[in-house]
Amino acid sequence: MGERTAYEDFIAGLPKAELHVHHVGSARPETVARLAARHPDAGVPQELDALREFYTFRDFAHFIDVYLAVVGLLKTPEDIRLLTYEVAEGLAAQQVRYAELTMTPFTSVRTGIPIEAYTEAIEDARVAAERDLGIVLRWIYDIPGEAGLESAEATATYAVEHGPESLVAFGLGGPELPRRQFKPYFDRARAAGLHSAPHAGESTDAQSVWDALDLLGAERIGHGVRSIDDPRLVERLVAERIPLEISPTSNLATRVVGRIEDHPMRALRDAGVVVTVNSDDPPMFNTTLNREYALAADVLDLDEQGLTELATTAIDVSFAPDDVKARVRREISAYAAAHRDDRG
């Protein structure tokens, strides 16, 4: 037990990068409760205990329904700005130095917030967070798959025509619909210089990962856990060094994986796949990035050196500017060295 506590202390102070975390899905329960009271017609509970029950998911489809209900609370640019800054606070408190937040502007624009106001709100929060908290934020604009090709067209337009310089990648979330229909929109985003980081291999099968690679030009895969079912795919992920953004607690909460003992993360890592650990929608899943690192330490049998390497891998495969990558690497190395010295 003492060793476990020591690792948790080490993790708590370890500088980290978060690559797969959703903007709305990171809303603190306290923030959601305030917004729910402000917008009671959205049908989201206003009491914290009721919110915890609200966040108990029957399956992946139910999770999407709940997620969209919370999205419905974001009715003004001020709501967006508040949420974004408070998400940054929660990350910075866990020693996250760099985060790529997956944003879904389509859902906010559809509720009446102009894309220009949305962009101004998130950028204002980003600049303030870097100034106040020392965390660097970048954005991934995400097509909400459940909203169809209308959302794909709109999201590509927001990214290409309205995207700030801090927008680094283009994504695809929601139910894992056939990927081919989204190819033109990824082609457009990639031609504009954005990286490709779609979800795949979460709630369906390994074929969605093949399609994400071949049709969408994926450079990283959101989740990708079903890759383990296809040895040829695993070989390709290893050969091309395609990182997987794995979120263990998320996979349990949405019933993608039945038990943590059955999670394919270790088999994928042991096969040579580049694995990162992320929190996805942390308050909704009653987790944090620190908890996901502690879980990974158990599942992957990591010691402090292994945890240091896990954190370094995340910043290495991020889309961060080179100077930010170099700084965070130095911070990770310095922390690990200081911890060794203290222990010695």
| pLDDT band, residue 343 (cuts 50/70/90) | low
Asked whether residue 57 carries a pLDDT value surpassing 80, the answer given is no
**Residues 139 and 187 sit within 8 Å (Cβ to Cβ):** no
Catalytic-labelled residue, pool 123, 202, 219, 292? 202
Residue 29's alpha-carbon distances to 12, 20, 118, 307, in angstroms, are 21, 19, 22, 29
Which two three-digit tokens encode residue 187?
Answer: 């082609």
Token look-up 């966040």 returns: 55
CA 121 to chain centre: 20
Closest CA to 302 of 270, 330, 280: 270
Give 249-299 pLDDT, tens digit per residue.
Answer: 999 988 889 899 899 999 999 999 999 999 999 988 889 999 999 999 999
CA 299, 301, 303, 308 dihedral sign is negative
Closest CA to 66 of 104, 24, 103: 24
Q: Which residues does residue 275 pair with via DSSP β-bridges, in sequence order?
A: 244
Give 95-112 pLDDT, tens digit per residue.
Answer: 999 999 999 999 999 989
User: Which amino acid is it at 219?
Assistant: E
DSSP state of 257: S
Assigned fold of 2-343? TIM Barrel (3.20.20)
CA 118 to chain centre: 20
Which two three-digit tokens encode residue 194?
Answer: 């954005």
Token look-up 């974001």 returns: 74
Q: β-strand 244-246 against 275-277: which pairing, if any?
A: parallel
> CA-based Rg of the chain, rounded to a whole angstrom?
19
Residues 35 and 125: their CA atoms lie apart, in Å, by 17
Give 291-328 pLDDT, tens digit per residue.
Answer: 999 999 999 999 999 999 999 999 999 999 999 999 99
Instruction: Give the lowest-confidence range in 45-49, 135-139, 320-324, 334-338.
Output: 45-49
Closest CA to 14 of 343, 341, 334: 334
Q: Is 120 labeled as catalytic in the residue annotation?
A: no
Q: What is the pLDDT of residue 10?
A: 96
User: Which amino acid is it at 281?
Assistant: D
Give 73-82 pLDDT, tens digit per residue.
Answer: 899 999 999 9
Q: What is the pLDDT of residue 70?
A: 83
Token look-up 């169809």 returns: 148
Q: What distance, in Å, lies between the first and last C-alpha atoms of the chain?
A: 20
The pTM score is: 0.93
Residues 86 and 28: their CA atoms lie apart, in Å, by 8
| pLDDT band, residue 344 (cuts 50/70/90) | low
**Which ranges in the chain belong to alpha helices (H)?**
2-13, 29-38, 48-54, 60-71, 77-92, 105-110, 115-133, 148-162, 183-191, 207-214, 231-240, 248-253, 265-270, 289-299, 304-316, 322-343
The dihedrals phi and psi of 140, each to the nearest 5 degrees, come to -120, 120
Which two three-digit tokens encode residue 19?
Answer: 């690559």
Look over the chain and give the mean of its residue pLDDT values, rounded to a whole number.
93
What is the SS3 assignment for 296? helix
Asked whether residue 219 carries a pLDDT value surpassing 80, the answer given is yes
